[in-house]
Amino acid sequence: AQSVTQLGSHVSVSEGALVLLRCNYSSSVPPYLFWYVQYPNQGLQLLLKYTTGATLVKGINGFEAEFKKSETSFHLTKPSAHMSDAAEYFCAVTGPGGYQKVTFGTGTKLQVIP
């Protein structure tokens, strides 16, 4: 079975500062990894995903994440936070068979301070 651990349920950064949201995963097979963003009372929007190939993945809104197999991590970063980045972020991992069963982390709420 696969699992995801997101360190820090709340993260606060100043506008313009680096955003770093941490995600560690556990999977018995090569994982597919995702980051989703959720704004209040809305569904999930895919930020980026890693399946195979290049370990540094670039997504929308200036976010990127790096798959590090040796550390079983898939941390999300953005060089400069914007007020519009304030939202909840979920890391997710799939199990065997690709996208069939997605397991979500508990989420990290990002606050951006002006």
Q: Where on the chain is the footprint of another protein (CB under 8 A)?
A: 36, 41-46, 49, 90, 97-102, 104-107
> Least distance (Å) from another protein to the CB of residue 89?
11
Measured from the CB atom, the residue of 66 and 104 that comes closer to another protein is 104
> Least distance (Å) from another protein to the CB of residue 57?
14
Does residue 92 contact residue 1 with C-beta atoms inside 8 Å? Answer: no
What is d(CA 5, CA 51) in angstroms, rounded to the nearest whole number? 19
What is d(CA 97, CA 10) in angstroms, rounded to the nearest whole number? 32
What is d(CA 106, CA 82) in angstroms, rounded to the nearest whole number? 23
Measured from the CB atom, the residue of 45 and 111 that comes closer to another protein is 45
> Least distance (Å) from another protein to the CB of residue 104?
5
- Phi and psi for 83 in degrees, rounded to 5? -55, -35
Measured from the CB atom, the residue of 70 and 100 that comes closer to another protein is 100
